[in-house]
Amino acid sequence: MADAKPMPLSVPKPEGATGVLVLAGGEVVWGRGFGAEGTAVGEVCFHTAMTGYQEIMTDPSFAGQMITFTFPHIGNVGANADDIEADDPHALGMIVREDVTAPSNFRSVEPLGAWMKKHNRIGLSGIDTRALTRRIRRGGAPNAVIAHAADGKFDIPALLAQAQGWPGMEGMDLAIEVTTQTHFGWEGGVWRLGQGYDEVKPLPFRGGVGVGALPTTTGLGETDTPHPNPSPEGEGLKKPHVVAIDYGAKRNIYRNLVAAGARVSVLPATATFDQVMALKPDGIFLSNGPGDPAATGDYAVPVIRQLLKTKLPLFGICLGHQLLALAVGGQTTKMFQGHRGANHPVKRLSDGAVEITSM
């Protein structure tokens, strides 16, 4: 069945509008601002998840993007200090259909609007997100400026020029902006109802390498790196050691590696082959992240090619998977429409089963 004709995005400014989204193509979308005041320029995409808006906003993979939530009711459960994938949001802003109401959830610490303002992120409500999603689906993710001003005064021509002047994601290395600047051992496990996140004791340092210092190829023993240690007897030393290269990793990936029985060390995106191998990994994880893989690949791919020669297991997710593909001779092309949501069906070719996945 064909889609109904979408509502026009550009309409005269309605009374009470305190926010606006100006697309590079010239469309002007009015709404009500919440969160921080100001402007931000980036790419507009849509996300189909009904929950998890804090995790989405703090996911480093969304750096440089504004998230249009297709589910109309966002913010109902407020915000807390646990449901985050990084200390601060990396998405530039959020666009929602309904006004954000007072939260109602036993885990809520503050309203979503207050959390957005605290982290200097702009929100727009009252947007026809169905029409905007159709616009994105048909025309691709557009460059745009999101703006919020309590007095409702905007210089639309200036905002349009800003949107049109933004170069876009192609050729942009955003991993370098979101990666960790230090070497550290990840300790926490997954969240459990009634317990929160699993906590474990850190392994004592046994050499000159600690949090904040990158490993070298000399002076390191088998255990000269901070690792999770679930028991005083040093049981953590017997666990498979996974070295994760952080191109913009979500914390929940590290938590699940720990829950699966690994001890995890994290290195920056710019880590060298020698720095990775100095930690004596049993396996190497290439994380998710934002931006153009070809741009990040300028420094990441040569390292990955060296790692492939070691025959150690390598596993990549998202950007890490794309970098691995580049390292073995593949090419990447920006999808006309990216997959962003928690309800994407994926068919397992080995047995034909279809599973619902999060992307």
Q: Give residue-wise pLDDT tens across range 228-261.
A: 333 334 555 689 999 999 999 999 999 999 999 9
Mean pLDDT (the chain, rounded) = 86
Q: How far apart are the first and last CA of the chain?
A: 26
Give mean pLDDT, residues 122-149.
95
With a pLDDT cut of 90, the percent of the chain lying above it is 73
* Position 205 pLDDT exceeds 70: no
Provide the pLDDT for residue 71.
93
**Model confidence over 157-193: pLDDT tens digits?**
999 999 999 999 999 999 999 999 999 999 888 777 7
Residues 18-55 have pLDDT tens digits of 999 999 999 999 999 999 999 999 999 999 999 899 99
Domains in the chain with CATH codes:
19-169 (3.50.30.20), 176-333 (3.40.50.880)
Global pTM value: 0.85
| 124 HSE (CA, 13 A, CB side) | 31
